């Protein structure tokens, strides 16, 4: 059996961090309170955008958090679907950062987002990582 590539736990940890962020953000949108509202001071444009959508944005973020948690656990369990989920998530995220640049003109924030998404994609699609998840289908 091929040993787990070092990339896998790193991506899983990032997905678990995304889970925590999505859970806190989603909860603060569904159940506003003074403590969580203070967190919005760090990103007021995002707060305005989420509040335009209303409570549905909180539900969507909690759903995203459930997906990232499942994908993180799935990656650690060598599940091919989790690898596909992570690849799709980072590709969509990178595209979202490009669109964000077109809308906001914030080159620095968008470029950093694209660079992070591209880095994760690069490491996820490397032959060793891909073959690790390919073997999981045929070997189990």
Per the listing, tokens 């806190």 go with: 24
Residue 59 falls within a domain, yes or no? Answer: yes
Residue 119 falls within a domain, yes or no? Answer: yes
Q: Long-range contact list for 29-37, CB < 8 A, 24+ apart? A: 29/55, 29/57, 29/58, 29/61, 30/55, 30/58, 30/59, 30/62
User: Tens of pLDDT along 12-54?
Assistant: 999 999 999 999 999 988 998 888 788 888 888 888 888 888 8
Asked if 72 contacts 16 with a C-beta cutoff of 8 angstroms, the reply is yes
Residue 134 tokens read as 């390919």
User: Tens of pLDDT along 52-77?
Assistant: 888 899 999 999 999 999 999 999 99
Range of the domain at 105: 7-139
pTM (predicted TM-score): 0.86
Residue 28 falls within a domain, yes or no? Answer: yes
Residue 118 falls within a domain, yes or no? Answer: yes
Place 139 in a pLDDT band, splitting at 50, 70 and 90: very low
Domain count, the chain: 1
């Amino acid at each position: 059996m091929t040993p787990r590539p070092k990339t896998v736990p790193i991506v899983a940890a990032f997905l678990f961090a995304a889970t925590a962020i999505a859970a806190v953000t989603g909860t603060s949108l569904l159940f506003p309170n003074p403590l969580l509202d203070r967190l919005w001071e760090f990103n007021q444009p995002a707060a305005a955008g989420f509040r335009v959508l209303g409570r549905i944005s909180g539900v969507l973020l909690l759903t995203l958090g459930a997906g990232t948690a499942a994908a993180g656990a799935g990656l650690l369990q060598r599940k091919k679907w989790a690898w596909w989920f992570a690849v799709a998530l980072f590709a969509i995220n990178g595209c979202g950062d490009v669109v964000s640049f077109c809308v906001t003109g914030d080159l620095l924030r968008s470029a950093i987002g694209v660079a992070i998404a591209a880095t994760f994609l690069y490491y996820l699609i490397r032959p060793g990582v891909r073959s690790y998840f390919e073997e999981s289908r045929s070997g189990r």
